[in-house]
Structure 1
Amino acid sequence: MLLSIDFESEIPIYQQIKNQIIKGIATGQLSPGESLPSVRQLAADIGVNFHTINKVYTQLKQEGWVVIHRRQGVMINPELSINITQDYIESLESTLEVIAAQAYLRGISKEKFIEIINEKFSKFAKKGSE
């Protein structure tokens, strides 16, 4: 999986990396049990500080997307489970509220906003039905 980092973006580098790994899992580019590069290797490949990658891997582990083994390294969690908690629902609602507010303030219609969400969600739903 190739990561594309925009060093000029307002989105922090660690968040860009984390988002791309999660999207890679959702699209099937990254499979359960697949190994990821070591912290130092990925940092060198991208050209970022290894602490940045360590932060990404730590957050991904806390959220259940990856497992970290001392000898085997970091891998996509081979036992990914659907874990819909109330905390996740509240976090999702909070995130969507901000995104919806931004869209509204920029003049995007409700219909267009829903169309965009449906398009993005369908991209991942199609992968799941294959």
Structure 2
Amino acid sequence: MLLKIDFESEIPIYQQIKNQVIKGIATGELSPGEDLPSVRQLAADIGINFHTVNKGYTLLKQEGWVVIHRKSGVMVNPEFKTELTEEYMETLEENLEIIAAEAYLRGLSSKDFQKIINNKFSNFIGKRGK
């Protein structure tokens, strides 16, 4: 998986790394057990500080998306179990509330907002690696 970093984005680079790995897992582009570049290798490939990559990988590890072994490196968690925790649902609702508020203020209709959400969600259905 080739990460595409937008250096002009307001989204921090470590967050872009995290987001792209999660999208890669959801689309099946990354499979459970698949190796990811080492922290130093990814930093060199992208041309960024390795601490930035480390921060992205650490967040992914904390959320269970990847496992990190000192000797074998970073890989997509082969034993990841999806579960909808109360904490995740609260975070999801908070994030969606801000997105919905901005869409409303910009004049997006409820119907169009729901259409966008449904289209984005349907992009992942049936694509996740098993």
Q: What is the TM-score with the length of structure 2 in the denominator?
A: 0.96
Which stretch has the larger CA shift, 2-11 or 26-35? 2-11
Which structure is richer in relative contact order (CA contacts within 8 A, separation 6 or more)? Answer: 2
Give the helix-richer structure, 1 or 2: 1
Q: Which residue of 2 aligns with 1:96?
A: 96
Q: Give 1:129 deviation, angstroms.
A: 9.8
Deviation at 1:126, TM superposition (A): 3.1
- 1:128 is displaced (CA, Å) by 4.5
Go from structure 1 to structure 2 and tell me whether the alpha carbon gap of 1:37 and 1:129 turns closer, same or farther (over 3 Å shift): closer
Q: Which amino acid aligns with 2:53?
A: I
Identity over aligned pairs, percent: 72
Where 2:123 maps in the other structure, the secondary structure is helix
Q: How far does residue 77 in structure 1 lie from its aligned partner after superposition? A: 0.2
Q: Are the aligned partners of 2:25 and 2:129 in contact in 1 as well (CA < 8 Å)?
A: no
Moved segments of 4+, more than 3 Å: none
Asked if 1 retains the 8 angstrom alpha-carbon contact of 2:67 and 2:77, the reply is yes
Which residue of 1 is the match for residue 10 of structure 2?
A: 10
Asked if structure 1 preserves the Cα contact closer than 8 Å seen for 2:27 and 2:129, the reply is: no
Matched with 2:36 is: 36
Name structure 1 gaps, 5 residues minimum: none
> Over aligned residue pairs, what C-alpha RMSD do you find?
1.4
- How far off is 1:105 after superposition? 1.1
- Unpaired runs of 5+ residues, structure 2, are none
Give me the TM-score of the superposition, normalised by structure 1.
0.96
- CA drift of 1:115 comes to 0.3
Counterpart amino acid of 2:51?
A: H
* Other structure's SS at 1:29 match: coil
Report matched runs for 1:34-113 at 5 Å: 34-113=34-113
Paired with 2:96 and 2:79, the residues of 1 have a C-alpha distance of 28
Letter in 2 for 1:24: G
User: Could you tell me how far apart the structure 1 residues matched to 2:63 and 2:31 are?
Assistant: 16
Name the residue aligned to 2:27. Answer: 27
Distance in structure 1 (CA, Å) of the matches to 2:86 and 2:10: 29
